Structure 1
Amino acid sequence: MEFDHIHFYVQDAQRTRDWFIHYLGFQGIGSWNQVHTQTEIVYQGSVYFLLSSPLTSESPVARFLQVHPSGVADVAFQVQDLELRIKPLIQQGVKVISPLKFYHDQGETIKWLTLKGWQGLRHTFIEQIGTHSGKMIPGFPRLLPQDHSTLLGIDHVVLNVKSGDLKKAISWYNHYLGFEAKQRFNIQTERSGLQSQVLVHPQGQVQFPINEPASSNSQIQEFLDLNRGSGIQHIALKTSDLVQKVQDLRQRGLSFLTVPGEYYLQLQNRWLHQPLSVDWEQLKRYQILVDWETSTPEAMLLQIFTQPIFEQPTFFFEFIERKICQVQGQLRQAEGFGEGNFKALFEAIEREQIKRSS
């Protein structure tokens, strides 16, 4: 299982497309209008986003926006043996939103169907069969290009759920979709906290952390209040050179969460006995978070987080680089999610929350 694409429901698809092109450097590669809905497609590397807005009140996007602000409606997964994989889920009672469909073009065949995920989040399952000469998107009538860029793909997608639902959401994704528990976090600050469980799929690269608030004033609770329910809080995009990527994005005018100088002083103290040199001033200048495992400090985890991108502060992007090092003749990549970075992110969002409430 891999991430295939993400489908956003937004107020204005064209304006959102232009934002992705201008601020993130994506390319607009297609659009189509149904009777009630307009959809734009943007991509970069292997990352594809669908952006839909309503043309009439009959649009499913209009119904979504009556309840939620702009955000993610569908996290789509690429799978093999779609019909074999989906049959037992349907037998167990998972709700089918859109039944199995097929489309054929230029030697490629795509199969897909959409299931109801946690609390209304949708999951489209896609199988593409053929020579893989291009990307196929459900409902879009032609092959789409793929390029090679410093944006390598989707690293993870984060779901926020209400207090008391974390175990139930974990159980749902484990029982029906086969996800397994990996890292668990209990983050506390002087003001608030959260609990988080990272889920991974054993067949592929999909990572799916789930958060719940640990206090009534948590920024996770603020998300739930503003989103009017559970939903996707952020998407992490992988890059091979985060410093260069951040330079480019800042030149485009993209805004990021700020990190206090004390964070980098603490990192330098941790790094004192490590053999490698690190340009701390550069990392501080670009506000990049850093973490590593003591056994393999060269395999650093670099992360940065944007300011919220929609009208409500409910969704943002992360950019992440998992550095690779050689250990005993074998290549190792930074894995998981550094607890130091996780807490730093929570504190950064909390500072923005405090600004909004003051």
Structure 2
Amino acid sequence: SNMTKGKSCQKRAEGRVLNFDHIVFRVANAKTASSYFTTRLGFRPLAVREATENRAVQSYAVRSNQITLIFESPTSNGGEISKDLIAHGDFVKDVAFEVQDLDELVRKAKEGGAEVIKGVTEEKDKHGVLRYAVLRTYGDNTHTLIDRSKPATNLMFIDHVEGNMADGTLEDSVTWYEKNLNMHRFWCVDYKHDLVPYSCINSASVINRDENVLLSMNEAAKGLRPTSKATEFVKALGTSGVEHIALYTDDIVATGFGAMNYKWVFEAIERLENKEIKNDNTEEVKKNDAA
């Protein structure tokens, strides 16, 4: 019915349980319990988390393909794990799920009356960011909901592809695209125009009729440096080739590069380049150009 269709259009995004993430066992001896799985069932040791002053728990993790098991045992008496072991003996404490849209899933759980032991929490380390929450289920068991999704990168499309050509082949390469693929010249930079005196390259670009496929090409040119990036690239590769692929983003700060003041980076590069150019060599090049 039209009413049903109207409701479905307004339906909010739903959180989803995607997979089992891992299982947590609470046991008297985590090392011994985990070794059974590694010696008898083909699991491999994955990680060990030793006890600390603030966390009197020792944990051993083992894995086999997509199965991850974590065994934890107390290193002192009186804590939560000790009480669980007195009440139940060795048992499964937590069944963790990998989920999508953690916030919506937790909201829905609260709305449904679930007990949220730990709200949405974010932990960071050198490997990235992990978001999770913990719900109480039947008995003394819990479900940890883990969101491992990566943030959107805002990388939208390939902006252009740039290649470095062997000396003297730039013009032929451009002509090849014009004759064979009906592309046309988009822009070019010649050293004689004094636009890039320190880059030592001649550059040209071709683009398709819809102007959404852009190919840039460089070759060595005489400049104020003794060598060219194009020459070095071709020498290392052994032939002409693609030097870089540029990806378009509308927000470079949010696209994995972090909030950063790039001005000092470019200034540092500029200082380094100027430092590498010897005055006597610069004067010699200028004299040759004048001649």
* Pair in the same fold by TM > 0.5: no
- Structure label with greater radius of gyration: 2
Which bin holds the TM-score, normalised by the shorter protein?
A: 0.3 to 0.5
Q: Give the TM-score of the pair, scaled to structure 2.
A: 0.44
Q: Give the TM-score of the pair, scaled to structure 1.
A: 0.37
